Amino acid sequence: MRTEFLIDADGMLWPDAGSLGLSQHQRLVSEHGFIRVHQQVSSIAVSLNADIVSDVAIGKLLFALLEVRPSRVELSWFDTGWHTKAFVQTRGLAEKLAELTAPSSQTYRAAARDLARLPTDNPFANIFAAWRAHAGKVDAAFYLDLFPDVLRERFFVLDLAANRSQLTFDCVGFGFPLLSNDWAANCAGAPFEHQADYAYACAVARAYRQVGRRSEPLWEYVQAAIDVPLRGHCPVRYQRLILSILGENDTMKLLGTTFLDPSIKISSEA
């Protein structure tokens, strides 16, 4: 990682930030939503304005920190005043950033559906029937091998911590046009929330944690706007199925798959 750089609202790195001077850094952070990252001797210092920072910039920050895995991060943020807190674990930092970038109901809506009414011609019907027939006691390879036409590379396989709180990537399919294939190929072990649109990822993570807690499948309609670097808000409407599946040593993993459905319209009361 460079010793000092800025991240703008579009998620672009400004690698020559050291030449701008501290006062200019502060103005860009305070007034224009930039994030300042400065590597110190034993930690990394991060400054941002929580009132105006973008989800895309937060996502880029997390990608940058994931590359170096610092032992300590000192986060300074403005929220009606300046606050500073040190974090020695990525999870704690991620939880704080989630508070600062809580998703709006205007940009993410999900509505659970009744699986008892899943139509037989729905793309999820066969994979759900297989899950039910095996009581969820088969691993991801079973589904990936048996249902490639259903999954169409649009899947997540996630590891779930024993406390049912932390989600990390096991593997990701290459069928998501809004996700980089390079990222999908190298995300194993990364927290689920470490995506370009951090607030959107936090909202989605709640659905996976719900399945993890209850060990019950979830079928949802989703309507969202995802912040994508250099592209801005990308509206999406899709159906999602999340299943609890067998992991190593009888642990639990989660399999999620989606397909686009432009006919979905979720009211604000849903």
Specify the higher pLDDT residue, 166 or 7: 7
Position 60 scores a pLDDT of 85
| Nearest-angstrom CA–CA distance, 235 and 246 | 33
CATH 3.30.70 fits 4-100, yes or no: yes
Residue 239: name the closest of 201, 266, 215 by CA. 266
Residue 1's pLDDT band (cuts 50, 70, 90): low
Confidence of residue 70 (pLDDT cuts 50, 70, 90): confident
- For residues 140 and 157, is the Cβ–Cβ distance under 8 A? yes
Confidence check: pLDDT of 8 > 70: yes
Q: Supply 100's token pair.
A: 């600062």
Q: Which residues, including other chains, have CB under 8 Å from residue 9's CB and lie 6 or more apart?
A: 32, 33, 34, 53, 54, 56, 57
- Segment 19-51, tens digit of pLDDT: 667 778 888 888 888 999 988 777 899 999 887
pLDDT tens digits, 177-194:
888 888 888 889 999 988
Return the domain boundaries, the chain.
Answer: 4-100, 108-260
pLDDT confidence of residue 221? 96
**The domains spanning 4-100 and 108-260 adopt the same CATH topology:** no
Average pLDDT over residues 99-122: 82
CATH architecture of 108-260: 2-Layer Sandwich (3.30)
Note the pLDDT tens digit of each residue in 182-237.
888 888 999 998 887 888 888 899 899 989 988 899 999 999 988 887 777 788 99
